[in-house]
Amino acid sequence: MNQIFENITDKDHEQIVYCNDPSSGLKAIIAIHSTALGPALGGCRMYPYKNEDDALIDVLRLSRGMTYKASIANLNLGGGKAVIIGDPKKDKSEVLLRSFGKFVDSLNGKYITAEDVGMSVHDMEFIRMETNHVTGIKRAMGGSGDPSILTALGLYVGMQAALKKKLNINSLKGLKVGIQGLGKVGYYLCENLKKDDVEIYGYDIDKNRLDEAIQDHGVIPVSNDELLSMDLDIFSPCALGAVINPSSIKTLKCAVIAGAANNQLEKESRDSKLLSEKGIMYVPDYVINSGGLMNVANELQGYNKDKARYQVEGIYYILMRIFDYALSNNISTLEAANHLAERRIEEFVRWNHKWIEK
C-alpha cells in the first residue's frame, strides 16, 4: 500500500504505532485516532489478517469509531484501537501479550487498551503485568468484569427511548422483540426484556446458545429468515455487522432496529435512506451499544458498579437528544449521532484552546 500518511490524513488519525517483536512473534498496530477529549481508549483485537494492509485498514476504521463512541457517550476519552496480527487459537502466548503490554506502556497512557475479538479478560491480566494502561480486568482484580451485562442494559433503555419517540409508549410490556444472536449481550438482553413480559423471538447459529436462551428466558426459537420477515416491534441484531442491507430491509417488518452489533448498516447513507422510506427507526449502533465502553471507562477512576449503571441508563437521554436533532434537521438518526459527536469534540477543542491562551 505504502500510502499510510494519505490514509491517516484522510481519516484524521493522530498516530499509528507499528509494534514488531520477533522474539515473542508480536506484530501489532496501535492506531490513535484522536486524543482531543482524553486518552484514546479502545480494545485490542487479535485476528489472522490476510496481510498487513487489511490489519491497517481495520485498525484505522475501528479507532475512528471509538472516537465517535466516546464522544457521544459524554466520556472524557479519545478513540484508539489495536490489532495483533495472528490466530488467537494458535499464536497467542504470555510473552506475546506481555510484549504488547510493553508497547502500550511506551505510549505513557496516550492509548489505553481493553478486550476485543480474539482476546479475553485473562489475556488482559498478562498485558497488565507490563502496563497500567489497560481496562477490562476481572472484578476480583479490581476491574469492571464482563461488559456485556451493561451493554445489554444500554440496549434495554435505548429500546425504551426509541419506542417513546416512535410510538409514544413508555413500556415494552407485551411487545414483540426479535433477537439475532443470543451470545453474551443477547442473553443478558433477554434477562431485561423478560421482566417486562416481552414476547422474545430469537435465532443463533450456535444451538447451545439458543437452547440456553429458550430454557432460561423462554425465548421462542425461529429461523433467521423468519426473524427477518416477521411482525415485530423491535428487531435487535446482536451477532454480526452489515445485516441491514437492501435485501433485509425489503423483508423487515418492525418499527425499530436496536441492537448491539457494530456496523449494522452495510452502507450507511444508502441503508439509512431505505429505512426511513420504510418508516423504520434505526437506533445508531455505536450509541446504543456504548454501555460496554462506559463500563470499562469507569475502571479509570476506580470501578463503581452503581455509577457505571447510572451512566449506562443515561443512554436513554443521549438517544432522545439524537432523535430530536435528527427530526429538527431532517437527517437520519445516524447522521444526527455523528454530527453531535463531532460537535462535542469541536466545542471542547475551541474551549480548551481559550483556556490555554489565557
Please give the torsion angle defined by the CA atoms of residues 53, 59, 60 and 62, in that order, rounded to the nearest 10 degrees. Answer: 140
- Decide if 354 is catalytic: no
- Taking alpha carbons only, the member of 200, 158, 132 closest to residue 286 is 158
Residue with the CB atom nearest ligand NAD in the bound state:
183
Closer CB to ligand NAD, residue 26 or residue 297? 297
Closer CB to ligand NAD, residue 93 or residue 224? 224
**Strand, helix or coil for residue 332:** coil
Dump the DSSP string for 101-165: HHHHHHTTTSEEB-B-TT--HHHHHHHHTT-S-B----GGGTS---THHHHHHHHHHHHHHHHHH
Q: How far is the CB of 315 from ligand NAD (least distance, A)?
A: 12
Helices (H) and strands (E) in the chain, counts: 15, 12
Q: How far is the CB of 228 from ligand NAD (least distance, A)?
A: 10
- Integer angstrom CA distances of residue 108 from 40, 52, 170, 355: 11, 25, 46, 24
Residues near ligand NAD (CB under 6 A) are 147-148, 151, 180-186, 203-206, 209, 224, 238-240, 260-262, 289, 292
Closer CB to ligand NAD, residue 86 or residue 292? 292
Q: How far is the CB of 290 from ligand NAD (least distance, A)?
A: 8
- Taking alpha carbons only, the member of 156, 88, 81, 159 closest to residue 122 is 88
Closer CB to ligand NAD, residue 165 or residue 209? 209
Q: Which of these is catalytic: 27, 69, 81, 184? A: 81
C-beta separation of 322 from 333 below 8 A: yes
Q: How far is the CB of 183 from ligand NAD (least distance, A)?
A: 2
Report, as residue numbers or ranges, the catalytic residues: 81
